Homo-oligomer: A and B are copies of this chain.
Amino acid sequence: MITVALDAMGADGGPEPVVEGALQLIGEDVPIRIVLVGDRGSIEQVLRSERYDQDRLRVEHASAAVRMTDKPAEALDRDPDCSVLRAARLVRDGEADALVSAGNTGAVILAAARTFERLPGVRRVGLAAVYPTAQKHGPHRDPFALMLDVGATLNCSADDLVAFAVMGSAYSRIVSSIERPRVGLLSNGAEPTKGTPAIVEAHGRLAELDSVEFVGNVEGVDIPRGTVDVIVCEGFVGNIVLKMLEGVSEVAKDLARAALHHKLWWKLGMGLLSTGIKQVRTLTDWQQYGGAPIVGFDHLVIKAHGRSNARAIRNALKVAAKAVDNDIAEQIRSGLD
């Protein structure tokens, strides 16, 4: 049975949605054990009124927590017993198989960097994001794709981009059950000569790599379309793209809300359209994806969104279990060889 160390403290909503997400999954027929890491008092307050299998859920006390507004390095230096570091140590020491956190992204990356080893051949780690697309992906027709790096490594060498392609491909293969995920390099044109020197070099090397189904360069227009299963880019560009997608989704919601407050006819129209709007909402509902991996370490790290509700946490845990169950570390290792 797989054990996940779940940082209970970091999320915007405090420990409550995190603990509830763990309880949801424990209540299902999924072979998983969860260690809730954080302030025992706060966690047990949520657990108190619930019934659950105590063999599969336990609490590990940590005396401190990193806040969203903390500077990662300062926070980890100040509190070596903070929940995210303690959860990472459980994984390093073999008491758990994966780390899941909805906390401060920088602190999660740094905690992993200070506790785990990087995989052989990995110079820099990558933060992936799962984002909604128009096209569906894989046998489950997932309405989302993977993009990396979105902020862990601002400037990437060709080596970094190739490693991200291999690792993103392995993750997508397992989580979306796609036999050979289609991987694209984000650039300013489809031709192999387009892009920065690092992109051009990575293009040439990926084209010769059998372990990755490399389709060539993709462009900005391919991001919302979802032309490929995995988009590889450097962290600076990925960060801007990801935040822009959040902005677009936010603007669309504001427009819909303004319409609702506007006119009776609009309200009627919106009511009639509700099925359609629900479908669009499904498209932009990141909670169903749960979380995305930080790739490049010798242990699995899943970063859930800071605003995660219980369902998002449950899904992040489930994704972590699936990835460990399919031995993602080994799949990445063999892809990098």
Q: Which residues of A line the B interface, CB within 8 A? A: 134, 151, 154-155, 186, 188, 195-196, 219-225, 235-237, 239-248, 250-252, 254-255, 259, 262-263, 265-266, 268-273, 275-276, 279-280
Contacts and interface: CB of A to CB of B under 8 A. Distances in A.
A236 B279 CA distance: 33
Looking at A188, A245, A280, the one whose CB has the most chain B CB atoms below 10 A away is A188
A141 B251 CA distance: 17
Looking at A195, A243, A246, A248, the one whose CB has the most chain B CB atoms below 10 A away is A248
A220 B236 contact: no
Contacts of A241: 220, 240-241, 244
B196 A154 contact: yes
A241 B242 CA distance: 11
Contacts of A196: 154-155, 236
Contacts of A245: 220
Contact of A246 (B220, B239, B242, B273): B220
A220 B242 CA distance: 7
A239 to B, nearest CB: 4
A188 B151 contact: yes
A266 B276 contact: yes
A155 B110 CA distance: 29
A252 B263 CA distance: 23
Contact of A251 (B186, B224, B236, B254): B224
A107 to B, nearest CB: 15
Contact of A219 (B221, B243, B270): B243
A134 B248 CA distance: 9
Given A273-B273, A275-B266, A280-B255, A240 B237 contact: yes
Given A134-B255, A222-B247, 19 more contacts: A154-B188, A154-B195, A155-B196, A188-B239, A188-B240, A196-B236, A220-B242, A220-B245, A220-B246, A221-B247, A221-B250, A224-B244, A224-B250, A240-B241, A241-B241, A244-B244, A248-B248, A266-B272, A266-B273
B223 A247 contact: yes
Nearest to A265: B272
Contact of A223 (B221, B222, B244): B244
A95 to B, nearest CB: 35
Contacts of A271: 269
Contacts of A224: 244, 247-248, 250-251
A248 B241 CA distance: 12
A250 B221 CA distance: 9
Given A237-B237, A254-B134, A244 B220 contact: yes
A186 B243 CA distance: 11
A156 to B, nearest CB: 12
B151 A251 contact: no
A245 to B, nearest CB: 8
22 contacts: A154-B196, A186-B240, A188-B236, A220-B239, A220-B242, A220-B246, A221-B250, A224-B244, A225-B251, A236-B237, A237-B237, A248-B248, A255-B280, A259-B276, A262-B276, A265-B273, A266-B273, A266-B275, A269-B273, A269-B276, A270-B273, A273-B273
